[in-house]
A = this chain, B = another copy of it.
Amino acid sequence: MQNLNRQVVLRSRPRGEPRPSDFELAEAPVPAPGEGEILCRTIYLSLDPYMRGRMDEGRSYTGGMNPALGSVMVGGTVSEVIASRNPAFPEGSFVLGANGWQAYALSRGAGLRTLDPRQAALSTALGVLGMPGMTAYVGLLDIGRPKPGETVVVSAAAGAVGSVVGQLARLKGCRAVGVAGSDEKRAYVVKELGFDACVNYKSGALRPALREACPNGIDVYFDNVGGDVLAAALTLINLRARIPLCGLISQYSAIEPPAGPNLRPVLTNRALIQGFIVSDHMDRLADFLDECTRWFRDGKLKYREDVVIGLERAPEAFIGLLRGQNFGKLLVKVGEDPTARAVGPRA
């Protein structure tokens, strides 16, 4: 057992892409476990894109405050218990935890999961059978809800999450299409992982290549990157497509938010955007008429009309509508209304 605990601490908050000088290698004594504690020796540390957000000032999107300057960088770990004063985690057992970027850590056991190396190699608990794998699993199956025969596209397809998304899509009977950043990754995704196709987004012709890879359009787009790949995927989505928004790596280090609507708050707030058109919902017509007619007649639902007289004025009125020049529901009175002002509240 070494006498020093090596740690990587946050030295400065990056502006834009992190630089090596934002990190500092530090040393501290290896701590001794107190009553109820265990001493963990880190075997594997997981590095994941979300960590970039944890380097910023403020609150993380999982709720807590981000680490202070000088703190050990956060991260998932697989460790061996090398000293234990907690019977739930005996010496020699292996645990999955979040001990961060350091060689040793104390724990009281909260949030630790014991690993059985006979089930799968320890390192898989940080990947395919860990947080990235489960991210793929719930994001694809519970939010993407793929149906057999549908086309599932995933960005960062060779990555820890993306590689699982595409394989799960195949296991569910879907066409799996990846987007990755090199021809080597592209070949791996198709030949090793068994995706139906993969596009190298750095090859220059992303939209035509993606269109060719998705002859039936896209039913599920599992996004890890945002930016150009998201924009390209959106041009190919099918009716009632689902878009699990898992990551926006392309903008994690951006200093300025992207042009156009920035979807980062949608990701961090687990928000839902859904396009809709009223004609899909005609089963609700009776409910709507019942409730709204009552509210309208009771004066609880007010209403204003902007009535243009004469069919010949419809074009100019319509052009004004697109400019927001109308005030109230725009109608063209084409002919006489024999019932007007007979009954019913009017604005």
Contact = CB atoms under 8 A, between A and B. Distances in A.
Nearest to A289: B129
B44 A337 contact: yes
Nearest to A228: B261
A127 B274 contact: no
Contacts of A160: 328-330
Contacts of A271: 237, 240-243, 274-275
A344 B120 CA distance: 5
Contacts of A127: 303, 305, 329, 331
- Interface of A, helix, strand, loop or mixed by DSSP: mixed
A250 to B, nearest CB: 9
Contacts of A339: 94, 117, 121-122
A107 to B, nearest CB: 15
Given A127-B305, A163-B302, A317-B47, A137 B171 contact: no
A336 B167 contact: no
A123 interface: yes
B318 A47 contact: yes
A284 B234 contact: no
Nearest to A126: B331
Contacts of A45: 311, 314, 331-332, 334
A267 B56 CA distance: 34
Interface in A1-27: 6-8, 17-20, 22-23, 25
Interface stretch (A83-91, A181-189, A208-216): A181-189
Contact of A8 (B159, B265, B311): B311
Interface string A288-310: 11011101110011111101000
Contact of A143 (B118, B226, B276, B300): B276
A114 interface: no
Interface in A261-296: 261-263, 265-281, 284-285, 287-289, 291-293, 295-296
Interface in A194-221: 194
Interface stretch (A31-39, A146-154, A251-259): A251-259
A128 interface: yes
Contacts of A122: 337, 339-340
A97 interface: no
Contacts of A315: 8, 18, 20, 22-23
A177 interface: no
A102 to B, nearest CB: 7
- Lowest 5 A-B CB distances belong to which pairs? A260-B260, A259-B259, A127-B329, A117-B339, A160-B329
17 contacts: A43-B335, A44-B334, A49-B321, A51-B318, A101-B332, A121-B340, A121-B343, A128-B296, A129-B289, A143-B276, A181-B324, A188-B304, A235-B265, A237-B269, A246-B276, A259-B259, A272-B272
Given A17-B323, A20-B319, A269-B275, 7 more contacts: A18-B322, A43-B333, A46-B331, A137-B291, A163-B302, A234-B261, A244-B276
